[in-house]
Structure 1
């Protein structure tokens, strides 16, 4: 039985300085692979280096919507960067109206850039959406995101939003938030979510699942996410492990088991 952390940031300073320990604990918890997700261009080399160095680590290329004062990527630039070894996705990208306010047209333009790069490269998208689901889905439709598909990462939206995303060919990734006591709406999404559309993640170093809530998160703990989903669905843990792992390699088709 193996698990995959489909979204983490182990290139961040507090985690990368303990990379040997991170990988050892992954192995101990049956976590076979992790996808280290880019958030901006200046820090991208650290993501690519991890993927190039360690066989169990994959990488993505993109600029997070929360990074306002940072180098703006172009479609051509993202396409070139995506040719690096073990890059399996474009992102994370999307919209965040929770952390930032004011005129956010630049965020929407950046999102469109990423979708266009994904379509040109044929790579799936990693999408972040917070307090912006209507615009996120609208831009996904307008830009043809369904041509490449992808994942709605760290999903916290309603079942209706999940259905609309799945209708566009997207997977739904659940993080440690689903283990939180008050996340009742998200627990209901987890119960309804078809196994063939499920991914699991940590979003390390953030959002550690129970029983580690409040601590620095790490990929090994994605197993706790899977265990909680299994409980919610009334299914054996093996079913969650098998489905989420198979889905990972189906979506991120450049990744090899």
Structure 2
């Protein structure tokens, strides 16, 4: 069994064929899915997906959508988490340093969500772009007890180890399939067997050979095969380890 540990199945890109997308994934051996929340406006769609078999959900406020967040959204997030105890993590939250003009606001929002996750003892799903060292430093300071996932990890072996020491695992997706991602590929080879999960970030983060195409959970199989090659391990071992780590991290049944 495979788990796609991060896929945005609530996004409008899947509105026309969501059931077919899930069927293709399951026919490929992907039987479970973790869907993060990105904005308050989309939490309802995310929670509705959580009523389906095999789909676990998270709620959070994504740093790339600051223009869609309101001052009251963190308070609303706290209430939504209280009202929906089946939510498995807080996220997608984080820092995206490509948007320098909003960094101060991103950090305020991130800190508030980390503190909320700490209060509720929930793992975090963290979007971290060009900010691995800074995010690791903040996590050391705030010390969330339930760890979490550094989604779409693209850093070095040393940065991966720093996150692991903080109780986090890294998410491996389409980026690992690109041959030019040499630093990331070294990090993949260096990880412990319980240090990563496989993900697609569907509909985003296309794999090598699929540029310009909508991504979907079935392709987590391709990600797993590349990870197995980079780690010099059988695909079945990578699939088993990734699924076991995702199950443990998110408390999946």
Assess same fold via TM > 0.5: yes
Partner SS for 2:233: coil
Q: Normalising by structure 2, report the TM-score.
A: 0.95
Alignment RMSD? 1.4
Q: How is 1:1-257 mapped onto 2 (pairs within 5 angstroms)?
A: 2-52=1-51, 54-72=52-70, 75-83=74-82, 84=84, 86-98=86-98, 100-102=99-101, 104-145=103-144, 147-253=145-251, 255-256=252-253
Higher mean C-alpha displacement, 38-47 vs 77-86: 77-86
Cα offset, 1:134, TM superposition: 2.5
Deviation string for 1:201-232 (max 9, x for gaps)? Answer: 00000122234333100011101000111111
Which is worse superposed, 70-79 or 81-90?
Answer: 70-79
Tell me the distance in 2 between the aligned counterparts of 1:248 and 1:89. Answer: 11
- Tell me if structure 1 keeps the 8 A contact 2:125–2:151: yes
Once the two structures are superposed, residues 133-163 of structure 1 have per-residue CA deviations (whole angstroms, 9 ceiling, x without a partner) of 2221121112112x11001110001111111
Q: Secondary structure at the match of 1:173?
A: strand
**Alignment: residue pair count:** 251
More helix as a share of residues: 2
After superposition, give the CA deviation of every residue in 1:59-110 in whole Å (9 maximum; x if it has no partner). Answer: 1110111112122455543232124253110011111111x12252111111
Matched residues in 2 for 1:178 and 1:16: separation? 28
Q: After superposition, what is the alpha-carbon deviation per residue over 1:234-253, rounded to whole angstroms, capped at 9, x for unaligned?
A: 11111011100110111101
What TM-score do you get using the length of structure 1 for normalisation? Answer: 0.93
Structure 2, unpaired ranges of 5+: none
Instruction: State the secondary structure of the residue aligned to 2:3.
Output: strand
The secondary structure found in structure 2 opposite 1:32 is strand
1:19 shift after superposition: 1.1
Aligned mates of 2:85, 2:17 — CA distance in 1: 23
